[in-house]
Amino acid sequence: MQNTSIKRSAVLVAGALSLAGAFFAGAAYAADSKLDAATNLITQAVSALKAAENPDPKREFGGHRLEAIGLLVRAQGEILKAKQFADHPPQDPSPPGGKDPKPPGGKDPKPPPPPKDPKPPGGKDPKP
């Protein structure tokens, strides 16, 4: 029974890698060639892990090979995000025209009213 679940996991990982490979193959090359080199190295690492001979078919490297492949696929996804960020950096959040944005609600805040003259003790206004 454990052998069946391992085979199912291996098939799912292989399918995910195939989809990820097709997706990454269509990705544009980034401004920094080191990101492309890292993607190629991860692809080679995944291939090497898949080709590794399993000493005990019942244990499948204790699940660590599949975990390593999954982490490498995640790393490849992060590299793709880095490439997309390098190719298309986020826009400057400053508003066009150099004006300050209005506060929430669309209205300008009113200045506080001026303080009132304090009344003298006793509550009566002095006579001039």
pLDDT of amino acid 13: 61
Residue 31 has pLDDT above 60, yes or no: yes
Higher-scoring residue by pLDDT: 77, 128: 77
* Each residue's pLDDT tens digit, 76-126: 999 999 998 888 877 766 655 555 556 566 566 666 777 776 666 665 655
Please give the Cα distance from 97 to 74 (Å, whole number): 41
Please tell me the number of Cα atoms within 13 Å of 89 on its side-chain side: 4
| Averaged pLDDT for residues 10-33 | 59
Phi-psi region of 61 (alpha: psi -120 to 50; beta: other; left: phi over 0): left
Return d(Cα 26, Cα 17) in angstroms, integer: 14
What sign has the CA pseudo-torsion 103, 104, 110, 116? negative
pTM of the full predicted structure?
Answer: 0.49
What is the reported pLDDT for 1?
47
